Amino acid sequence: MSLLLYSDDVDTRTKVRTAIGKRLAADLPPVEWTEVATPAAVVSAADAGGFDVLILDGEAVPAGGMGMCRQLKEEIFECPPVLVLTGRPQDAWLATWSRADAAVPHPLDPRALAEAVSVLARRRRG
C-alpha cells in the first residue's frame, strides 16, 4: 500500500510513520512511504499517481495540508483519498472545506490515525 506523507516537520512525519507502522491490518498489504516536505513535491508526487492514500499535515508551512488538499482534489482526476492532520479537533470544519476524506487532530492518536488510514485504503482498493 502506497502512502504519500506531506509535512515540513520531520517530527510529525516520524509520529505518523510510527503510528501506522509497516502494516495497517492483516487484510492490507505492507506500507510503502513517500515523504515530501514542500508543496511542489506534493503536487509532483500526487500528479505522478500510484498512491492509495495521501496524508497531509494541515499545520505544514508554507502551505498547509488543507489548502493542498483542496488544490489536489480540484486538479487531479480521480485524486486518491486524503487524510488531513488538523491543528485541533475544532478544525474539522476546515477539513470539510478542503474536501478531505478524513481528518485526525493533533496531538495524534495512533489508533485513530491508523483506523482512519485503514478505512480510506480499503475504500480506495474497493
Write down the CATH superfamily of domain 2-125.
Answer: Response regulator (3.40.50.2300)
pTM of the complete model: 0.96
Q: Where are the domains of the chain?
A: 2-125
- Residues of the chain short of pLDDT 70, as ranges, are none
CA dist 38 → 23, 41, 42, 43, 102 (Å): 26, 5, 6, 9, 21
Dihedrals φ, ψ of 38, to 5°?
-130, 155
Mind listing the pLDDT tens digit for each residue in 28-48? 999 999 999 999 999 999 999
Q: Give the integer Cα–Cα distance in Å for 57 and 101.
A: 14
The CA-atom distances, in angstroms, between 125 and each of 59, 95, 115, 118, 119 are: 28, 23, 15, 10, 10
The pLDDT score that the predictor gives to residue 125 is 82
**Coil, helix or strand at residue 111:** helix
